[in-house]
Amino acid sequence: MPVPKKRRSKSKKRMKTARWKIVVPNLRPCPECNALGRPHFVCSVCGFYKGRPVILTSSASNNAPSNDLAASE
């Protein structure tokens, strides 16, 4: 089993652990319902993606235009 050839100094160890950080997720408002969500993902509140209903949700069924995609699900 491989082992390190040299000991890692305190400064090198601390520089490595200093790169760990919490990443804040990018959020954008949905153009249909203005709920915050991830970009390039279906809105979890209304079910719209790129202006079209992709998944049928309870709030989307109230205001969604009827088309083949929403009616099939």
For residue 29, the model assigns a pLDDT of: 93
Which of the pair, 55 or 11, is modelled with greater confidence? 11
Is 18 contained in some domain?
no
**Helix or strand run (H / E) with residue 14:** helix 10-17
Distance, in Å, from the CA atom of 35 to the CA atom of 45, rounded to the nearest integer, reads 7
Which of the pair, 64 or 29, is modelled with greater confidence? 29
Cβ-in-10-Å burial (0-12, 13-18, 19+) of 53 comes to buried
List, in order, residues 6 or more apart from 59 with CB less than 8 Å away: 33, 45, 46, 47
Is 2 contained in some domain?
no
Alpha carbon 43 to its chain's center? 10
Q: What's the mean pLDDT in 45-62?
A: 78
Domains in the chain: how many in total?
1
Is 31 contained in some domain?
yes
Is 4 contained in some domain?
no
Is 46 contained in some domain?
yes
Is 14 contained in some domain?
no
pLDDT band at 62 (very low <50, low <70, confident <90, very high): low
Q: Which domain holds residue 56?
A: 27-68
